[in-house]
Structure 1
Amino acid sequence: MRRRNFLYGASSSGLLALAPLAAIASPASAAPKGAPASRPGGPTRRPPQITWTIFSRHLQWLTTQAYAHQYPYETGVLVGEAAAEMGYAAVDLTVRPGGHVEPAAVRRNLAPMLRGVRSTGVRCAHITTGFTSRSSEYADEVLTTAADQGIRYYRWGSFSYRWDADAYGDTVLAQLEDLRKEVRSLAVLSRRLGMTGIYHTFSGGRVGSSVWDLLHLLDTIDPDALAINFDIGHLVAEGAVGSWQTNLRTAFPRVRGVGLKDSTVTRAANGAVRAGWVPAGQGFVPWVDFFRVLHDGGFSGPCEAQIEYVHQGVNLNTTFWADTPSFTLSRAQMLGTIATELSVYQAAASEAGWTATEQH
């Protein structure tokens, strides 16, 4: 089934109406890429730059999974066209089980799908993977193939703590030490391929939800090999009153990407406290303050929208394909929702001092 015929058929059915360790250690005298540079009279920062990015998981409903795997170029075109229609300059492509590209098919499908996305004028130098370490299945194959296709960033992680009876004091740090071997191995591969792996920060029992632990884990690693994808929604849920800013400022030399979502904190019927997701501007995230910190620090990299709240009865924190029965939103509803998120972020960034030339 070719792309146009698929669209017509899906629309009529209602589905689419919607190295050694020394090689990875951070040089003490060298400023990491993206970090402030010096100038006479005081510190300066490289020109800040936001790349507005959409997570491709939110566009998997444009086709069926079978179609995406059989026609990767055509699927890439659809993804790029939708991103451009909504105003996004770039796409973070899912290359993981259940994603746009299955890891087992990466050598066959990644290149044509990237050609399709890029043919629309939308950038794609960023993928999200499903592995936490180099020992994960297909990790080397995915990253080697992606590097050959001009991918600069890949998202990896995350790790969870074991909160057992002995998890106090040094035993918590010991859990981090247990992860170092895997982290260093992945850093060696990243360095060899000229890529940056960005670890996504989650809330609640994950390594990185407090940030200091992630900095401790990565402290001997070159931040151009492994860095941080700072999810402001998750980290505001962890520290809405102010620790999000302390964490962001402290981690800033290692921040290479930003995840965008708005959050609240809710209490479930069983008493458990959890992060909750809401449309941008309706939660706890102080968007203008957040974008001002990014601007003043000289941030340059992808700012990725992740839409995960319930919209008209549909939980968008789910991967939908065109033939997923529970996906009942129309094309106009879905694209309109994602575009509205971007407009909120752009307005806040502009108010925070980002000029039009600093946003793309």
Structure 2
Amino acid sequence: MSWQWLMFSKHLQDLDFERLGWEVSKMGFDGVDLTVRRGGHIEPENAKAQLPAAKEALKKFNLSLPMITTNFTDASDKFAAEVFSVAADCGVKFIKLGYWRYREFGSLQQLVDFARKSLDGIARLAERNNVCAVVHTHSGNFLTASPFVLAKLLEDFDPKFVGAYVDAGHIFVEGGLMGWQQGLEVLSAKVRVVACKDFAWFRENNRWKVKVVPIGEGIVRWKEFFACLRQIGFDGPISVHSEYEGWTTEQVISQTRKDLPLLKRFASESDNSN
């Protein structure tokens, strides 16, 4: 099974499209997961003009643009319909949505119901444009911290138009022993996109916190994770998240040049058919 490897552009946002394409191509990626959101590579109101330009710039370096990352959580959000339409015209297949915050114990069911109503509209918008909106697993005070809650959110939605975006780092943070594996299994029919980052726990000021660390230095058991992806028949893109907070662009590029080959090696070694 051959997966398409994408570079998430979040920490390369000071690069223009040409430089982005050049750097990402040199790193060995197949394409880019481009931020189209406030403070991103493209502001939502500029998508109509800039997204086609980004696609053409990346194409010069033999890079595809199968995915964008947005902050939309409702089809009525300003510029959501326009961004979905322009993305579809540019051949984008997957559109990452934003997040719903889980703030108070006792509010879970109400928040699930609210999010599902929002996803109804998103699903219609995605179907109209023949794209797939994906909901990301994110640890912490987010509704989708738990894969089991995400599975509840996605019930009855056609995964062709609304699917799961499983982040290895985040599901290991919330289920580091076997919860990640059970969560991945319960989502197996819905997984359309995967993210790769690694986390480690650190004790600071008498509190435990997680930070992104280089691939292979954290809690993610990569070979097991990739083996599970193969078992469920996952065939979507994999977005590599070099979210090294406080690092310079050059530092991020340098580390990602090490991370990607390692991820590919772990993926290859997880394939029993080799």
TM-score, normalized by length of structure 1?
Answer: 0.72
1:283-302 correspondence to structure 2 within 5 Å? 283-302=218-237
Report the secondary structure of 1:253's partner residue. Answer: coil
State how far apart, in whole Å, the 1-side matches of 2:120 and 2:21 are: 34
Letter in 2 for 1:309: Y
Structure 2 Cα separation of the partners of residues 181 and 146 of structure 1:
23
Distance 1:286 1:119, change over 3 A: same
Partner deviation per Cα, 1:105-142 (whole Å, 9 max, x = no partner): 11111111111111211111110112222122211111
Q: Is the 8 A contact 1:49 1:299 kept in 2?
A: no
Who is 2:163 aligned against? 227
Once the 2 structures are TM-superposed, how far is the Cα of residue 230 of structure 1 from its aligned partner? 0.3
How far does residue 51 in structure 1 lie from its aligned partner after superposition? 0.7
Q: Is residue 2:264 matched to residue 1:346?
A: yes
How far residue 294 of structure 1 moved from its aligned partner, in angstroms, is 0.9
8 A Cα contact 1:133 1:157, kept in partner: no
The superposition leaves residues 298-339 of structure 1 with CA deviations (integer Å, 9 ceiling, x where unpaired) of 1101111111235xxxx24xxxxxxxxxx4x6x4x4422111
Question: For residue 162 of structure 1, what is the amino acid of its counterpart?
Answer: R
Greater relative CO (CA pairs within 8 A, separation 6+):
1
Q: Aligned AA for 1:342?
A: L
Q: Which amino acid aligns with 2:268?
A: S
74, 80, 102: which one aligns with 1:139:
80
- Letter paired with 2:52: A
Residue 97 of structure 2 aligns to which amino acid in structure 1? Answer: W
Aligned equivalents of 1:199, 1:278: Cα separation in 2: 23
Q: 1:265 is matched with which residue?
A: 201
The yes-or-no answer on 1:61 pairing with 2:61 is: no
Equivalenced residues, count: 274
1:92-114 Cα deviation digits (max 9, x unpaired):
01111111111111111111111
Runs of 4+ in 1 over 6 A off after TM superposition: none
- The corresponding residue for 1:49 is 2
Please tell me the residue identity of whatever aligns with 1:214. Answer: L
Q: Where do 5+ consecutive residues of structure 1 fail to align?
A: 1-47, 63-74, 317-326
TM-score scaled to structure 2, two decimals? Answer: 0.94
1:181 counterpart residue number: 117
Aligned pairs for 1:187-198 (under 5 A) are 187-198=123-134
Q: What pairs with 1:151-166 in structure 2 (closer than 5 Å)?
A: 151-163=92-104
Q: Where do 5+ consecutive residues of structure 2 fail to align?
A: none
Cα offset for 1:297?
1.8
Asked if the contact 1:95–1:102 (Cα under 8 Å) also holds between the matched residues in 2, the reply is yes
2:154 match: 218
Deviation digits for residues 260-303 of structure 1 (CA, Å, limit 9, x no counterpart):
011122343153x4322111000110011111111122110111
Contact 1:53 1:92 in 2 (8 A): yes
* Partner Cα distance (2:33, 2:135) in 1: 14
- Does the Cα contact within 8 Å between 1:234 and 1:275 map onto a contact in 2? no
1:220 CA drift (Å): 1.9
- Partner of 2:240 in structure 1? 305
Q: Secondary structure at the match of 2:3?
A: strand
Equivalent residue in structure 2 for 1:243, among 158, 174, 179: 179
Determine helix, strand or coil for the equivalent of 2:210.
Answer: strand
Between the aligned partners of 1:95 and 1:175, the Cα distance in structure 2 is: 25
Pairwise CA RMSD of aligned residues?
Answer: 1.7
Q: Write the distance in 2 (CA, Å) between the matches of 1:97 and 1:125.
A: 20
Q: Deviations over 1:128-184 (max 9, x none)?
A: 112222122211111111111111001102111131xxx33xx52122112222110
Q: Do the aligned partners of residues 228 and 111 (structure 1) sit closer, same or farther apart at CA in structure 2, a change above 3 Å counting?
A: same
Task: Give yes or no for contact 2:244–2:252 (8 Å, CA) kept in 1.
Answer: no
Structure 2 counterpart of 1:130, from 57, 67, 71: 71
- The letter for the 2-side match of 1:126 is M
Larger Rg: 1
Residues 277 and 354 (structure 1), Cα distance of their counterparts in 2 relative to 1, 3 Å cut: farther
| 1:82-121 to 2 correspondences below 5 Å | 82-121=23-62
- Any idea what SS the aligned residue of 1:61 has? coil
SS in 1 for 2:184: helix
For 2:14, the aligned partner's letter is W
